Amino acid sequence: MANDFRLFILVAWLATALSGCSDLGTQPKRLAAPQLSATSLDFGTVAVSDSAFRSFTLSNTGTANLTGSASLSCPEYELDSGGGPFTIPPGGSVTLVVQFKPGALGTFACTLDLGPNVPQVSVAGAGALQAPGAAGTTAPDSLDFGVLQAGQTSTRTFRIFSVGTAPLLVNVVSTCGAFTILSGGGPATLDPAGSLTVTVQFAPLAGGAQPCGISVGPGVPDVGVTGFATTVSFASDVQPILENWCLLGCHDHFTGSYAGLLQTPSAYPAPARIIVPFDPAHSTLYGKISNTGQYGQLMPQGGPMLPQADRDLIRDWILEGARNN
């Protein structure tokens, strides 16, 4: 009985002593973390009563739901999609599309509010009218920058031609951050039969396809620009992981080479394959290393799981097209 009493006193003392330690017994607070693909939208110059669209992505890189409400209070702008209240789970995202329709000449600035938990997005555009007889065209009407590694840059050019009988107003603006106008940007006036050369730079910081447009001026179609960026290399990032974790006498018949991974049939029915470019959910390799249960037991067999950083590299490599880079 005395021993039980002494044990009770000891436990009570320990509980009292430890209660003052703020780092014991307290779960870390879960927080949302908003991330915007663009903090401003520039519509350039749009013909009065015509319209233009811009989009951006709001992602949540935190550990708790991100809540807010998207709204615009300027009559020239409206949310074409993504307006109103939203809840974005951890790892999720939402795309918002804004329409600009100037009803008069002049410049129009506005602010897109996303709620108290997300930074605001500034919005700007101008309305103008071409003089009677003015007309413009571009050549080429689109630019393809191909595939770059994130952090690299590439440049392309196009020309704007004034093909009417009156001076042509232009205002060359990039509509997204991965593409920058190096020369020929901003407002200008082209005399009939005149031209302007525009140089565009693609400098991606994130992976994946990055379609965009270059706004040219009122009544002149945008120049479409596309590029694809990779952040993961098969040779430098993915292959060493496979050699360290998956060969070892188990899968050396296919995982040691790029062709083996992409060409070896999966034991599971279509659309599953060992690797399905752009689609981790139907890639049995990723299903097994992330232990989804969708394609049987965890690999490496018997565990442990690959480190999270390695799993993320393989996932991102697949999302970026599983290229032999």
Residue 170 DSSP SS3? strand
Same domain as 99, residue 71: yes
Same domain as 220, residue 146: yes
Average predicted confidence (pLDDT) for the chain: 85
Q: What is the pLDDT, as a whole number, of residue 16?
A: 40
Same domain as 288, residue 211: no
Same domain as 276, residue 188: no
Q: In the numeric block, which tokens belong to residue 272?
A: 């599953």
93 in a domain, yes or no? yes
Name residue 223's beta-bridge partners: 214
The residue from 231, 252, 268 where one domain ends is 231
Q: What is the pLDDT, as a whole number, of residue 72?
A: 95
Q: How confident is the model at residue 261 (pLDDT cuts 50, 70, 90)?
A: confident
Q: Considering its fold, how many domains does the chain have in total?
A: 3
Q: What is the pLDDT, as a whole number, of residue 286?
A: 87
Residues 6+ apart with CB under 8 A from 108: 74, 76, 77, 100, 102, 124, 125, 126, 127
Phi, psi (rounded to 5 degrees) for 60? -120, 105
What's at 227, amino acid-wise? G
Q: Which domain holds residue 148?
A: 130-231
Looking at mean pLDDT, say which of 55-64, 91-100, 254-263, 282-291 comes out highest. 91-100
Domain of 60, CATH number, reads 2.60.40.10
What confidence tens digit (pLDDT) does each residue in 85-118 have?
A: 999 998 788 999 999 999 999 999 999 999 999 9
Average the pLDDT over 273-280 and give the result.
86
The residue from 107, 129, 151 where one domain ends is 129
273 in a domain, yes or no? yes
292 in a domain, yes or no? yes
Same domain as 242, residue 166: no
Question: What are the Cα distances from residue 305, in Å, to 13, 281, 286, 288, 301?
Answer: 41, 18, 12, 9, 9
Same domain as 270, residue 301: yes
Same domain as 227, residue 138: yes
Does the pLDDT of residue 26 top 50, yes or no?
A: no
The residue from 80, 110, 129 where one domain ends is 129
Same domain as 167, residue 92: no
Same domain as 208, residue 180: yes
What confidence tens digit (pLDDT) does each residue in 232-260 have?
A: 999 889 888 887 776 655 555 555 567 76
Same domain as 274, residue 225: no
CA–CA gap between residue 320 and residue 325 (Å, rounded): 11
Q: What is the pLDDT, as a whole number, of residue 19?
A: 39
166 in a domain, yes or no? yes
Question: What are the Cα distances from residue 227, in Å, to 81, 144, 207, 313, 314?
Answer: 24, 6, 10, 21, 22
Q: What is the pLDDT, as a whole number, of residue 24?
A: 40
Is-contact 63 118, C-beta < 8 A? no
Of 72, 12, 54, 96, nearest to 214 (Cα)? 54
171 in a domain, yes or no? yes
Q: What is the pLDDT, as a whole number, of residue 124?
A: 94
pTM: 0.75
16 in a domain, yes or no? no
Q: In this predicted model, which residue has the larger pLDDT, 276 or 97?
A: 97
Same domain as 227, residue 163: yes
Q: What is the pLDDT, as a whole number, of residue 147?
A: 93
